[in-house]
Structure 1
Amino acid sequence: MTGVEKAQALRDRKGGARIAALTAYDYPTARLLDESGIDLMLVGDSLGMVALGFPDTTHVTLEHMRHHVAAVARAEPTALVLADLPIHTYPDPDTAVANARLLVEAGAEAVKLEGGIRQADKVRAITEAGIPVCGHLGMLPQRVLEEGGYHKKGRTPEQLDALREGAWALIEAGVFAIVLESVVQEAAGELTATLPVPTIGIGCGETTCDGEVAVVTDLIGSFPWFVPPFARPEADVAHSIRTAAAAYVQRVRQP
């Protein structure tokens, strides 16, 4: 299937089988996730923290993203490969299209950008260029410095109205799905029930949205220094690595 066909297939899942999505940043992880049946692999700018050691996503560049997208794409996954457009790479429609094409050249099949109404013209331009787009509303990591931290969204009627207006602007511009991040459960549930495209939640409650996306390092426990309160680790890879490395050190140092 082409990227456009994969994106349409996910859009058609609205109200049906829930979408299981995980982040991926490298070739072996992409292969393993695809063998596990994941529907969507997000090469997220979260790689800034969990792969590159930055304090937030605002340090991630387009070249960082292209490097990691290419690694994931080499696994030739059947899952849709969705890549984040990093901060400062979509200031206007023409630039957004040019940079989306660079991510596609690296191996992405679709792109994601953050924001609602003010991003609609960029979404429209990218989709008209034949590249599927996923929206992202709620807590926007690329605006963490502007907002002074990570805050839940949708707590007030005004915030819910803003989310709803942003979602419809993105839908009218052509997105195939919308990620909702750290939106309070009641608001995320209302949006999921009323929007015609799938919502993919993170930090919105486990069954609130049409699907879920998790950061793979949170899932497998390979980044123990910070785990979000909503994360549900299924493994403890950090412990396994420490144990294996310590055993190796002991073996090497034995007389």
Structure 2
Amino acid sequence: MTAPADSVQDDTIAANLAAVRARIAAAARAAGRDPASVTLVAVSKTHGAEAVAAALAAGQTVFGENRVQEARAKFPALRAAHPELRLHLIGPLQTNKVREAMALADVIETLDRPKLAEAIAGERDRSGRCPDLLVQVNVGREPQKAGIDPGLAEAFVEDCRGRLGLPVRGLMCIPPVDEDPAPHFAWLAECARKLGLAELSMGMSGDFETAITHGATLVRLGSAIFGPRHAPAPFTLA
């Protein structure tokens, strides 16, 4: 008898998670680090709530989403059933989505410009709630990518923490795909050290072990856990 499709998916996701966790642990130990110092962010963008539920059943509690609308469609019901779930928003954030993003997310990893910082501070003052924040740095200075310029990063972090009183906990980056990521990871780690920031979100499916060597505390993996991404679904909001 053929196993139901959802059972096969659950088993596949559980096996993928086990393999990824083993690789994270091995990379951490090779770098002389405690594997528990690295948190896996399972990037569930374009995958449905059933895939997230399968990962939750396998013990994964931290997830990443790119789009506010997609996160809203999937996560409120999942969080109600799994209060331990933590959601990171890891895609570029428009200022008109700030209110909804701050209501949904535990961590916003893509704070990258003064206008967005001002909008987050305003919503924090209105609602009395603010997720933890990471500043995204465009380490490769790529015009097509989000992130603050590396030369402006330190002053921006200090302004966010000082004048605006925002809870900036760390830095995030996505290195250029056609370059060795190691120098970019090393630069980000040194910047975080100088600023006294504890969190470093860097490393994805192709380079997370290198990122761990350079001090990553958060690694963002999607296809290695959930398989190939689906075409984005049209999310309509009631």
In 1, Cα distance between equivalents of 2:44 and 2:122 = 26
Aligned counterpart, 2:17: none
* Contact 1:21/1:40 (8 A) holds in 2: yes
Tell which deviates more after alignment, 215-224 or 121-130. Answer: 215-224
Trace 1:155-234 onto structure 2 (pairs within 5 A). Answer: 159-172=149-162, 173-182=166-175, 184-194=184-194, 195-202=196-203, 205-207=210-212, 208-223=214-229
- Residues 169, 197 of structure 2: 8 Å contact kept: no
TM-score normalized by the length of structure 2: 0.55
Alignment length (residue pairs):
175
Which string of whole-angstrom CA distances, capped at 9 and with x for unpartnered residues, describes residues 159-183 of structure 1?
5332222333344422344323327
Number of the residue aligned with 1:13: none
Q: 2:28 matched to 1:29?
A: no
Q: Is the 8 A contact 2:65 2:90 kept in 1?
A: yes
Q: TM-score, normalised by structure 1?
A: 0.52
Cα 1:122–1:162 change in 2 (3 A) is same
Higher relative contact order (CA 8 A, sep 6+): 2
Distance 1:168 1:85 in 2: 23
- Taking only aligned residues, the RMSD between alpha carbons, in angstroms, comes to 3.9
Please give the per-residue CA displacement for 1:71-98, whole angstroms capped at 9, x wherever unaligned.
643552523123357643x15xxx73x3
Structure 1: gaps (5+ residues): 1-15, 46-61, 226-255
The secondary structure found in structure 2 opposite 1:206 is helix
CA 1:74–1:185: 2 relative to 1, 3 Å: same
Q: Distance in 1 between matches of 2:61 and 2:156?
A: 25
Q: Distance in 1 between matches of 2:50 and 2:230?
A: 20
Report deviation, 1:201. 1.2
Query: Between the two proteins, what is the percent identity of the paired residues?
Result: 8
Task: Flag the 1:219–1:170 CA change in 2: closer, same or farther, 3 A.
Answer: farther
Structure 1 residues 122 and 196, CA, compared in 2 at 3 Å: closer, same or farther? same
**Alpha carbons 1:192, 1:210 under 8 Å: kept:** no
Give the conservation status (yes or no) of the 8 Å contact 2:137–2:150. Answer: no
